[in-house]
């Protein structure tokens, strides 16, 4: 197509390096048996590589200026096009159309990274998300407890998924070049999302400078003394902070909390 007018509101940063695009497909482990949902097709460079390997690609693009180009490019191919916001689509209808398990592969705009991750964890039957995200977001997802990056995103993603950074991608490989480097992260979904557990994690980290007892007492309308005793009874210091608990400790604590408080 001719020169594209990149739209800042859509966070458009396109990739054209064929070797890297092929590597993303390999990172996602896409095979001829896989259906893939792609978010943010851009000019279809990644879509093209996916379509060579996948059984079918369901591509979402919000920029209607790309519609005619993409329709022509993928005419009579194994690519199904949707020109709408993935966050507003009827995911149940989409999954009925796909007819089974699928993977999500995307170079997504940074500003909707967390909403996209939660959208698929909360609502979908996707088996894996392989996403190009801002490098610092990838670092938060895989962060270990007692580190500065460890927080809500770390605990929730690691609770429901096997999380792994596949590769770091230089900002120089994008057009236009963003201000920061990116990373490809794989989230293989292992468990069905539990909204009550997610609320517990969000509550635990709600005020970062406060203790876990303070946060839980405030968010669940309990007395701080009662929560501190609960923590002590379950082997945790009364002044422990959320970032000091590893994922398996959160899981254990939540089960006891749910049953007793």
Tell me the average pLDDT across 95-116: 91
Residue 5 has pLDDT above 60, yes or no: no
pLDDT tens per residue across span 107-153? 887 788 999 999 999 999 999 999 999 999 999 999 999 999 999 99
Which region among 9-13, 14-18, 208-212 has the lowest average model confidence (pLDDT)? Answer: 9-13
DSSP 143: P
Comparison of pLDDT for 109 and 216, the residue scoring more: 216
DSSP 144: P
CATH topology of domain 195-260: Helicase, Ruva Protein; domain 3 (1.10.8)
Residue 172 has pLDDT above 70, yes or no: yes
Do 215 and 204 touch, CB atoms closer than 8 A?
yes
Strands 182-189 and 161-169: antiparallel
| Token pair listed for 260 | 């007793």
Confidence at 20, pLDDT banded by 50, 70, 90: confident
- Residue 161: strand pairing partners: 189
Average pLDDT of the chain to the nearest whole number: 91
Give the pLDDT score at 7. Answer: 42
Of 198, 188, 196, 190, nearest to 166 by C-alpha is 188
Which region among 6-10, 19-23, 116-120, 214-218 has the lowest average model confidence (pLDDT)? Answer: 6-10
| Token pair listed for 18 | 């064929």
Confidence at 2, pLDDT banded by 50, 70, 90: very low
Extents of the domains making up the chain: 8-189, 195-260
Residue 173 has pLDDT above 80, yes or no: no
Around Cβ 225, how many Cβ atoms within 10 Å?
11
Cα distance between residue 164 and residue 142, in whole Å: 7
User: Residue 56 in 3-state DSSP?
Assistant: strand
Largest Cα–Cα distance of the chain, in whole Å? Answer: 67
CATH topology of domain 8-189: Rossmann fold (3.40.50)
Which region among 23-32, 108-117, 170-179 has the lowest average model confidence (pLDDT)? Answer: 170-179
Give the pLDDT score at 115. Answer: 93
């Amino acid at each position: 197509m001719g020169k594209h007018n990149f739209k800042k509101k859509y966070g458009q940063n396109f990739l054209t390096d064929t070797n890297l695009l092929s590597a993303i497909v390999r990172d996602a482990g896409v095979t001829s048996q896989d259906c893939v949902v792609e978010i943010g097709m851009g000019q279809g460079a990644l879509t093209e590589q996916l379509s060579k390997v996948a059984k079918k690609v369901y591509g979402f693009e919000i920029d209607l200026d790309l519609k005619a180009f993409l329709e022509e490019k993928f005419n009579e191919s194994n690519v199904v096009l949707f020109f709408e916001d993935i966050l507003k689509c009827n995911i149940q209808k989409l999954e009925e159309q796909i007819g089974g398990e699928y993977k999500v592969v995307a170079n997504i705009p940074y500003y909707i990274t967390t909403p996209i991750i939660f959208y698929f964890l909360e609502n979908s039957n996707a088996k894996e998300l392989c996403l190009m995200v801002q490098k610092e977001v990838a670092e938060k997802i895989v962060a270990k407890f007692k580190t500065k990056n460890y927080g809500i995103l770390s605990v929730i993603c690691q609770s429901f998924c096997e999380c792994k950074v596949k590769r770091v991608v230089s900002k120089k490989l994008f057009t236009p070049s963003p201000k920061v480097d990116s990373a490809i992260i794989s989230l293989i979904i292992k468990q069905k999302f539990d909204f009550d557990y997610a609320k517990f994690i969000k509550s635990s980290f709600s005020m970062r400078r406060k203790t876990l007892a303070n946060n839980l007492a405030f968010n669940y309308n309990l007395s701080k003394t009662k929560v501190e005793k609960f923590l002590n009874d379950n082997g945790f210091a009364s002044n422990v902070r959320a970032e000091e608990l590893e994922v398996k400790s959160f899981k254990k604590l939540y089960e006891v909390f749910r049953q007793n408080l």
